[in-house]
Amino acid sequence: MRKVLIIHGPNLNLLGKREPDVYGSVTIEEINSALKERAKKLKLSVDIVQSNHEGEIVDLIGDAEKKYSAIIINPAAYTHTSVAIRDALQATKLPAVEVHLSNIYAREEFRRQSVTAPACRGQISGFGSTSYLLALEAIHSSF
């Protein structure tokens, strides 16, 4: 069974309490259960990790080829700043999909650039927690 690594970046552990007007009231636990349920239907297996640490995310991406067939990542604030995460995504042979709950292109100027997306197969932005499920479907149909 193909295995997908799902990475939630910084502050996404706070979903539900964090800026609900922007991110909604869904919690990370609810997103993770929906992902596991969808993965089961698609006959995929998922490992889900949340990290607030850039270097840890770089390590996860760097080691992913050993165990996984694809990566889904919401780099959160690192989307707009992290050359290290972009380089890790560029270096891995695995296809990656970048996910955002909010439409980053409809928000503040500094969020309108993704440093990391050019190193991904594609990006899904603006559909709330459904963005993650769409990413899983996209990965599944690319296999």
Which positions are catalytic?
23, 100
**Structure-derived torsion over alpha carbons of residues 51, 54, 58, 64, reported in degrees to the nearest 10:** 10
CB nearer to ligand DQA: give 11 or 45: 11
Looking at residue 82, the DSSP 8-state letter turns out to be: -
Nearest to 13 by CA among 48, 42, 47, 40: 48
Report the residue number, 70 or 104, with the smaller CB distance to ligand DQA: 104
C-beta closer to ligand DQA: residue 101 or 138? 101
Task: Give the closest residue to 140 by CA, choosing from 102, 23, 132.
Answer: 132
- Interacting stretch for ligand DQA, rule CB under 6 A, among 26-34, 58-66, 76-84, 135-143? 76-84
Looking only at residues 91 through 130 of this chain, which bind ligand DQA when binding is defined by CB under 6 A?
100-102, 104, 111
First to last CA, the chain: 12
Residues of this chain that interact with ligand DQA (CB under 6 A) are: 11, 74, 76-77, 79, 100-102, 104, 111
